[in-house]
Structure 1
Amino acid sequence: MVDNTENFEELSFEEMLNQYAPKQVQRGEIVEAEIISKERDYSYLDIKGATEGIVRTEEITEFEVGDMIRVTITEDSDDEGHIKVSRRAVVQEEAIVKLEAALENKEIVNGTIVRKVNGGYIVEVMAHSAFMPNSLSQIRKDSTENVIGLEVEVIIKDIKTERNRKKILVSRRDVVVMAEAEAFAKLSENQIVEVEVRNVLKFGLSVRVEKVLGFIHISEISWG
């Protein structure tokens, strides 16, 4: 009779190692982790089934100790056995899903103008940098207004992937056009409305009705 005791013990030992040994994670992998401590520069995470992770505190300011978050593995273990992770990559990935939905449904999203560039502006939208051309910015070329830091509503016009980077095109002009169309749809012929005079012209008045621009010919104006 063959004694399988030794083989059984080896198998049991191997099973225990597999059960309790830290799970191997790969660079670029997205994992669930629990925040176990937050310090000024770095915070520490419990990557379930693996080991401790370390992330820059500035990336998780909106979370507290005990919260579960999704992070991306960015580097292998350091000298202390901590795996370096990032929250930013996950945020950008989640944001792209929302931006693509906004593109498909022509939804208005909020953004912030962060700098002026050749031909337009860079707008930060959901953790991504988007380009807003001058022609779609609703900002006059001769304007002296400081628009850096200005919060704006925009429409996503296009999203492309080039060299593994997302290129996003946005428009502020489309938001204005949509608002004007909505306001115009509420007007009817012979309806009496109050208007704002924008400019006195040679042949009449340039006026605004809600968000719609209009013109009153001089023959329709009584100065008495």
Structure 2
Amino acid sequence: PVYAMNWTDPKSGDLTKGFRELGFLPEAFVNLLAMLGWNNGTDQEIFMLDELVEQFSLDRISKAGAQFDFEKAKWYNHEWIKQTAATDLEPLVIPILREHSIFAENNPQLKKIIDLVKDRCTLLTDFYEHSAYFFEKPTESTTDWPSIQPKWNTAKTDFFQTFIQKSAAINSWTAAEIETDFKALVAEKGIKIGEVMLPFRVILVGGKFGPAVFEIAEVLGAKEVAERIEIALAFLG
């Protein structure tokens, strides 16, 4: 069965999760329901509600039985999340983060974080997985050390120690400025950018994932970036 929201069977007490609780946007749910056995004669699949009201007609309904495809439903939701403004997603994301003891109501960076990760989120509930590292430092046990430790050396230690010092002097802590200074230091140290880009990402987020690493650094802030590098250097030696 498909339910818009949680439903408890009055006889058995069994709970069936609804689409709302699974992390679907109402707009996506309406959109996918409208497309079950109907189309407007084109390849268009994403419709605003006013478009559906204007274009829906009984003569375009297929006589064949409609088939519900959960994977297609998730596709609709992903498309809607991508096109929904961070301002509208924010009140929906806040309670999801709160369930994981992340209280982001007054975080001035929350909209920026949502914009950075929303393309990776199929369901609203995915926002925790894809944004947790902005609010919590990666732990020693969850960080993907094996992806960088085998090739770690004193040159990389020196690079990141120097980067901490130089980052304190960056006047405008923006992704573009951080990238410029990072690459300038790479050239100064005579190493290849690829040797330090992956370690930088793993140090900041704990693994080989996430949006552009300099965008992540901008949101985290200079102090937090320095702290995460120091923690990593203490572990890597």
**TM superposition score normalised by structure 2:** 0.29
Query: Which protein shows a greater Rg?
Result: 1
Whichever structure has more strand as a proportion of its residues is 1
TM-score by length of 1: 0.30
Higher helix content, 1 or 2: 2
